[in-house]
Amino acid sequence: MRVALRRAAHQLLDHPRVLGDPLAVPMVGDAIDELRTNPARHQSGIARRVRSFMVARGRYAEDELAASVLRGVRQYLILGAGLDTSAHRGVAAPGNLRVIRSPERSQRPSPLNANTVNSPR
């Protein structure tokens, strides 16, 4: 949930955005309320550096995936994806990206269920 919250914080607090993710805020649900009521807590130096690292890492992975698809890669698997939204944002060609979540994450209600496989225990 922490990575998802940082992605959502990036959408609300950082300009310019390094990674556009319109699903980040809805994905975290009510947890976003704390961010909206206390944004200063998420603007400390360490909070901004950690958020920047996570967002840059996601942007790099998505850029590499897009380049791989152009080179002919047909499938991409995100194993242990947690609350990752890339499968739902069309990062890869439709049907090429699959997400496998752990049973713990599968129990969490999510507005995003397409392309998701819940792994057995």
- For the chain, the C-alpha Rg in angstroms (whole number) is 15
pTM of the model: 0.75
pLDDT tens-digit map of 37-62: 988 989 999 999 999 999 999 999 88
What DSSP element (H or E) covers 47? helix 45-70
Find out whether 76 and 62 touch, Cβ atoms under 8 Å: no
Is the peptide bond prior to 16 cis by the omega test (within 30 degrees of 0)? yes
Find out whether 94 and 116 touch, Cβ atoms under 8 Å: no
CATH 3.40.50.150 assigned to domain 2-118? The reply is yes
Give the 3-state secondary structure of residue 19. coil
Alpha carbon 33 to its chain centroid, in Å, reads 18
Q: Where are the domains of the chain?
A: 2-118
Which residues of the chain fall below pLDDT 50? 114-121
